[in-house]
Amino acid sequence: MTTSTRRTWRLLPLVLLLGGCMAVGPDYRRPDAPVSADWKQAGLWKPATPQGLDRGDAWWTVFDDPGLDALVAAIEPSNQNIRAAEAQYRQALALITQARAGLFPTLGASAQATRSQAPATTNPRTGITTGGNTLTAQDAGVNTSWEIDLWGRIARTLEANEASAQASAADLAAARLSARAALAQAWFQLRVAERRAALLADTVEANQRALRIAENRHAAGVVPRADVIQAQSQLASAQAQLIDTDIPRAQLQHAIALLVGRPPAALDIAPGTLPTLPAQLPLVLPSTLLERRPDIAAAERRVAAANAQVGVATAAWFPTLTLSGAAGFRSTDLSNWITAPARYWSLGPSFALTLFDAGRRRGVIDQNAAIYDQRVAQYRQTVLAALVEVEDNLVALRVLADEAIAQARAVDLARQALQITLNQYKAGLVGFSNVVTAQTSLLSAEQAALSVAGRQFDAAVLLVRALGGGWSQP
């Protein structure tokens, strides 16, 4: 072994020791988030205990609706948005594998055989022709190349890809949460639509009874024909509204079919009842929300990825060190190809440094620093939006609970007023227009009560989604 060869091998441990000894660029620190100590609209609600959050992300079970539970179970394997998010996550994991491979040497092998003929040449002085020989050469060997990560470029790339994969995992959780929440909203609105149809069917029956009363009184000559016409008009109006309820019910079934990944014709939901609204939902503190909303976690992980990319860009200022080597056998005679005399090898490091690029590297660093600032702002905006969503739905649930009580009282009074008015009409004390007014008031009050119930379920589902649906950052 020659002196230069010995020096090369002596330098190898030092090169390996230097690999990964320094990672340039800023180390990541989680940005501050604008959170408060408690909720402004919490009212009598208290933060949930850890036991109250142990249901995991199966938050829909608090509504105790087996039909909803069955449909939610069908979302995971068939919802296309979830499948797309899952594929995006697998892409991010593949990028981690690619980046991690950069920490290790690459090894290749090759084998080739060539047959060539050199051109013949004639010496003008002697007139002797030489060359024109046919040669066969065989070459087989292995080669390796390893970029020593002196400045942490590869490590920072791996760090960025890992953070991006964590963001994709949170995106997948957010897609699941969004699909399940949309399904729950559509499911409860479907039940509200069914209750509205039942209400209008009862109204049609009541109007038919009122029409018979008017017809009997008209036949007895007590009231004019106008009373019968008014009763018929009121009945026709209720029948038209009842027919119209087929549209929202069908459309809500179609929306549910889309969420569970089925054609509309393949899903038929039997009529059911609207479940009881949960008296209380697990509430977490605002600071805990940072760990329990997947969109916040995804935004924070993208900040970390952007921070690592600043380090990747900074490493371009420093030289790269690549260790390469090759070994094999090369011969023009097949009989002594794989023999010691035909052996060859090479090993040595190489340094490369860009001396002048007219500001390109500085521009890349500035670009990544600006991307980092953008990600920080987006993270903080996501946190603020999450806080607003929780506060909005807290106040909605509190106000709607009071409104539901008042509206139930209005329905009861309107029902009493209609009964009194009908009795007065039978006694000839009032005209049928008073009955029409009382019927209209009752139907309006009952529909308003249903609308409040639907809004309560919407607010409950949106609050659960705003709180992260029981998800927690792994």
Cα 225 from Cα 233, distance rounded (Å): 13
What is the distance of C-alpha 96 from the center of its chain? 20
Confidence at residue 279, expressed as pLDDT on a 0 to 100 scale: 79
- Residue 469, classed as helix, strand or coil, is coil
Whole-angstrom distance between the N-terminal and C-terminal Cα of the chain? 55
Report if residue 449 sits inside a domain: yes
Confidence at residue 289, expressed as pLDDT on a 0 to 100 scale: 85
* Residue 3: Cβ within 10 Å count: 7
Report if residue 130 sits inside a domain: no
Residue 283 DSSP code: B
Question: Is-contact 54 186, C-beta < 8 A?
Answer: no
Report if residue 121 sits inside a domain: no
Confidence at residue 8, expressed as pLDDT on a 0 to 100 scale: 45
What's the pTM?
A: 0.85
Looking at the structure of the chain, the number of domains it has is 1
Confidence at residue 43, expressed as pLDDT on a 0 to 100 scale: 61
Report if residue 131 sits inside a domain: no
Report if residue 123 sits inside a domain: no
Confidence at residue 408, expressed as pLDDT on a 0 to 100 scale: 97
Residue 460's contacts (CB-CB under 8 Å, 6 or more residues apart) are 63, 277, 278, 281, 393, 397
- Residue 117, classed as helix, strand or coil, is strand
What is the distance of C-alpha 20 from the center of its chain? 35
Report if residue 12 sits inside a domain: no
What is the distance of C-alpha 342 from the center of its chain? 60
Report if residue 116 sits inside a domain: no
* Residue 79: Cβ within 10 Å count: 23
Confidence at residue 21, expressed as pLDDT on a 0 to 100 scale: 54
CATH of the domain at 317: 1.20.1600.10
Confidence at residue 340, expressed as pLDDT on a 0 to 100 scale: 79
Q: Which of 238, 215, 205, 203 is nearest to 432 (CA)?
A: 215
Q: Containing domain of residue 427, as a range?
A: 20-111+136-466
Residue 315 DSSP code: G
Q: What is the mean pLDDT of each run of 10 residues along the chain (474 residues)?
A: 48 48 86 85 54 59 92 90 95 94 92 78 68 76 92 93 95 94 96 96 94 93 92 95 95 95 92 88 82 92 96 93 91 79 88 92 95 97 94 93 96 96 92 93 96 95 90 76
Beta bridge partners, 145, equal 106, 324
Residue 199's contacts (CB-CB under 8 Å, 6 or more residues apart) are 443, 446, 447, 450
Beta bridge partners, 111, equal 140
Cα 232 from Cα 435, distance rounded (Å): 13
Which pair of tokens denotes residue 278? 């949960």
Report if residue 352 sits inside a domain: yes
Confidence at residue 53, expressed as pLDDT on a 0 to 100 scale: 37
